[in-house]
Chain A
C-alpha cells in the first residue's frame, strides 16, 4: 500500500464525565473527522469511559520542543513568590 492510500492520523480526547476536561487518550486513523469520532467511540469508549469526544488531526498539533524545556519553564521555577507558601502570616490569622 503506497503512502497516498494511508488514512490521516487523529488524536482523540475524551470527557469521562460532565464537569471534567477532555483528556488525551490515544490516536487512530480515519478518513475524516466524522469517521474519527465513530472509530474513537468504538475503540476508546467500550466501557463507559466517556460522554464526549474531540478529535484533532495529528498534523495540526504543534508541540513544544523538549530540548527547550529549561528556558521555557525556568521563569516559573524562579518566581517562588507566586506561591502562597512564600509569605508568612501570624498563626493567629485564620481563613487566609
Chain B
C-alpha cells in the first residue's frame, strides 16, 4: 500500500474512534493500534491466569465449606476471564500459544501484584477487597474501549468481578470484628497489600509513556493517577468503617479538593518487582510453565482421541 493510502486510512480510522464507532476484528487498523492491543490484552489475560495462583494457594485451607465454595467459584471466574481475553487477542491475529510462551520466557508481563505471597487467610480478604477492587476500577472504563471484542469481554468480566470484591470485603469485615488476633491478622494483610494495590494503576502520569496515544485511540479513558485517586477515595472510608487503618501515616483528607492525599509511593519497589525481582516472580512463572509442559500429553491425547472418533464415525 502506498504511503498516501495509509495516511487516508489512518485518518478515517481516527475519525471512527473520535465518533465512538467501535473497531471490529476485520476492520482496517494501524499496525501500532493492533500491536498495542495485543500487548495490553495478552498481559491482561496473563494477569487473570497468574492471579489464580495466590488464591488457589488457600482453597484447600479455607476455614469452612462456605468460604471454600466461594473461593473456588472466584478462582474459576478468573480462569474464564483469562479465556475471554486470550480469545480477544486471537481476533487480532495473535497466536494464543505464542502469547503464553512470551509470558513463560519473560517477554510479556502481568500485573505485579501477583508477585506478592498470600501468607494468611486474611490475605484472601485483602486480595478480593483491594486487588479485585483496583482491577474493577481499571476495567470499568475498558468496557467502553474502542476495540469491540475487548470491550465486550470487559462487560462480562465486570459483571463477574463485583462478587469478587464483596466476598473479600466480607472476609475482612468478619476478621476485623473478631478476636484481637483475627483483627490483627486483617490489619497485617491490609498493611502488606495496600501499597502494592495502589501501585496496580501503574506509574505516575508523567512517567507513563503509552498513556497519551492510548487515550487518543480510546483504549484508555482515564490516566493512571486519576484511577488511583478514585480508588483511594472510595477505599479509605471502607477501611475506616470496619476499624482498620490504612498503612500511610501521611494520608489525609483535603476538604478543599474533596480527595485524599497520600504519602510517597515506593516506585523503586514497583520497578524491582516489574523487572522480576519481587518475592514470587520466579514461583509464578515456573508454576505456569510447568502447567503447560505437564499438560501437553493430555492435550495431545485429547486431540488424538477426537481424531480417532472422527475416523470411526466416517467409517461406519
Residues of A within 8 A of B (CB): 1, 3, 5-7, 9, 26-29, 31-32, 35, 43, 46-47, 63, 65-67
Contacts and interface: CB of A to CB of B under 8 A. Distances in A.
B77 A67 contact: no
A19 to B, nearest CB: 23
Contact of B296 (A5, A7, A66): A5
Interface string B142-165: 000000000011001001100000
Interface of B: 24, 26-28, 73, 76-77, 80, 83-84, 87, 90, 96-97, 101, 152-153, 156, 159-160, 292, 296, 299-300, 302-303, 305-306, 309-310
A1 B28 contact: no
A31 B87 contact: no
B306 A32 contact: yes
A65 B83 contact: no
A18 to B, nearest CB: 22
Given A1-B97, A35-B306, A43 B80 contact: yes
Sort A-B residue pairs by CB-CB distance and give the 8 closest, nearest first. A31-B306, A32-B306, A27-B87, A31-B302, A66-B27, A43-B80, A66-B26, A31-B303
Contacts of B300: 5
A65 B296 CA distance: 37
A32 B310 contact: yes
Given A26-B153, A31-B303, A66-B24, A1 B83 contact: no
Contacts, number: 51
B76 A46 contact: yes
Nearest to B152: A26
Given A1-B101, A43-B80, A47-B160, 6 more contacts: A5-B299, A26-B84, A29-B96, A32-B309, A35-B306, A66-B28
B92 to A, nearest CB: 13
B83 A43 contact: yes
B223 to A, nearest CB: 30
B141 to A, nearest CB: 21
Contacts of A46: 73, 76-77, 80, 160
A29 B87 CA distance: 9
A27 B92 CA distance: 13
A35 B302 contact: yes
A5 B303 contact: yes
A7 B28 contact: no
Contact of B87 (A3, A6, A7, A26): A26
Nearest to A65: B26
A63 B25 CA distance: 11
29 contacts: A1-B97, A1-B101, A1-B299, A5-B296, A5-B299, A5-B300, A6-B97, A7-B299, A7-B302, A26-B84, A26-B153, A26-B156, A27-B90, A28-B83, A28-B87, A29-B96, A32-B306, A32-B310, A35-B302, A43-B80, A43-B83, A46-B80, A47-B159, A47-B160, A65-B26, A66-B24, A66-B26, A66-B27, A67-B28
B303 A63 contact: no
B292 A1 contact: yes
A40 to B, nearest CB: 11
A28 to B, nearest CB: 6
A26 B81 CA distance: 12
Nearest to B76: A46
A7 B97 CA distance: 11
Contact of A1 (B77, B159, B296): B296
A43 B81 CA distance: 9
B151 to A, nearest CB: 13
B306 to A, nearest CB: 4
B77 A7 contact: no
A27 B89 CA distance: 11
Contacts of B28: 66-67
Nearest to B310: A32
Contacts of B96: 6, 29
